[in-house]
Amino acid sequence: MKNIFSGKGKLRQRLLAVTGVLVLVYIISAIVILYFPEQEKGLRTQFRESVAKWFPNQTETVVQHFGLHYYNDEHADPAASTVNRAAVLIHGLDDPGKVWMSLAPALAAEKYHVWLMRYPNDQPIEASALLFSDQLRVLKSYGIKKIDMVAHSMGGLVAREMLTNPGINYPGSVHRGQLPAVNRLVMVGTPNHGSQLARFRGFAEFRDQWVHLTKGEGHWLRWILDGAGEAKIDLLPDSRFLQTLNSRPHPEGVRMFIIAGKAAPWDHQVKSRLIRAFRTVLPESYHHLAGDLDTFLSETSNGLGDGLVTVSSTELAGFPLRTVEGTHLSMIRNISEKSDRIPPAVPIIIDLLSEDRE
């Protein structure tokens, strides 16, 4: 009996030691990314590119899942997409493809030809934008002259980078007939000014890899070949990437719209009841403070945002902003495909894309 307990004690000590090492590694990583973000990003990129060179066959297996994928009925002709009826959907960081489960079928029902862009979402955002621009040439080869884009979360940054990066030269490529013209860009929960929560993307990465594994797309190198975590550095507030992106002029001729979520613990009705109770309890001479309470509750809602991205981070000067009740995911998708619930951002997106539709 003594030996059994002794064995359990040693196992516990080993587990504690392993846990301690993991915590130490995490702390060191957090310190490095805090003080040397660009250096860490460079090292991550070098490691990813080295792995791709060491395992070319495995890399090809993983890469074949990336690119534009036609969503509509497999018997439909993607080349039948008319001038204003092609919609390209771009997911965000560590998304396994479920974010469009509600919007894609809704757009298809509206007779849109829907394309899903899949990309190595953990790599640098600029690299994802380059891949995206290359993939859009496929649509041009089908004779598609105009597209609408809907982007969730980091996908909005990929789209903006593609539209404004001077190396990609979107305006020149459209003028030369190499790319379709972008008519609208609708960004949903896009952290245009970054998110501190990008530091804690480990769980999302695990979920991403697990879903791909269950779909038969898993690979032991996918966790590194879809990016080595460089994107999280780009997503940090005031990152070099965001400073560069936000310093550029917005693309001419592209109508941009922003949808942000509010996951506050109170809705409009709850807020109204709180203010009425405030007026009831306090003397009339203090009723003017109800306006301050209203302002405080509204600002708190904006600060919470959708739980991952604050409302202020989504904003871009000169472009309309709509807010909806919901979290980063619930505002655009349901938990289950069987759900009859309509995510609040979906009808707004359909209305925006339907304006002046040919």
CATH placement of domain 39-259+318-354: 3.40.50
CA neighbours closer than 13 Å in the CB half-sphere of residue 196: 6
Per-residue pLDDT, averaged over 320-346, amounts to: 90
Q: Would you state the pLDDT for residue 300? A: 54
pLDDT tens profile 211-233: 444 455 554 455 555 555 677 88
328 pLDDT exceeds 60? yes
In whole angstroms, what is the distance from residue 146 CA to residue 142 CA?
A: 11
Residue type, 50: S
Which pLDDT does position 308 carry in this prediction? 82
pLDDT in the model for residue 207: 45
Q: What is the mean pLDDT of the chain?
A: 78
- Quote the pTM value: 0.74
Task: Give pLDDT tens digits for 103-152.
Answer: 999 999 998 999 999 988 778 899 999 999 999 999 988 889 999 999 99
Query: For residue 104, what are its two tokens?
Result: 């894609």
What value does the mean pLDDT take over residues 14-37? 62
Share of the chain above pLDDT 70, in %: 63
Q: Tokens 């898993």 correspond to what residue?
A: 218
